[in-house]
Amino acid sequence: MQKIENDIKKLEEIVSRLENKALSIDESLSLYNEAIDLSKTLIKSVKTAEGKLRLLTEELKEIND
C-alpha cells in the first residue's frame, strides 16, 4: 500500500506542476506522459488490491459458513 500512496503523491505533485503556467510545452508534455504512466500503474495496483480483498472476503465467508 505504501507504493500506491507514494504514486498518488507523485501524481498530485505532477498535477500541481502542470497547473503552473510557467512550464514550457516540452516540460508539460513530459510531465503529462509521466502522469499517464503513473495513472496506469495506479489502476493496476488498485485492481490487484481489489482482487486480494475479494479473495480474503471469500475465504472469510467460507470460514464463517
23-51, pLDDT tens digit by residue?
A: 999 999 999 999 999 999 999 999 999 99
Contact in structure between 18 and 32 (CB atoms under 8 Å): yes
Q: DSSP per residue over 21-36, as a string?
A: TTS-HHHHHHHHHHHH
What pLDDT shows up at residue 21? 77
Distance CA 9, CA 15 (A): 10
Q: DSSP 3-state assignment of 51?
A: helix
For 1-26, the pLDDT digits (tens) are 788 999 999 999 999 999 987 999 99
Tracing cell 495513472 back to the chain, one arrives at: 39
Q: What integer is the mean pLDDT of 41-62?
A: 94
Domain residue limits, the chain: 2-64
Q: Collapsing DSSP states into helix, strand and coil, what is residue 41? A: helix
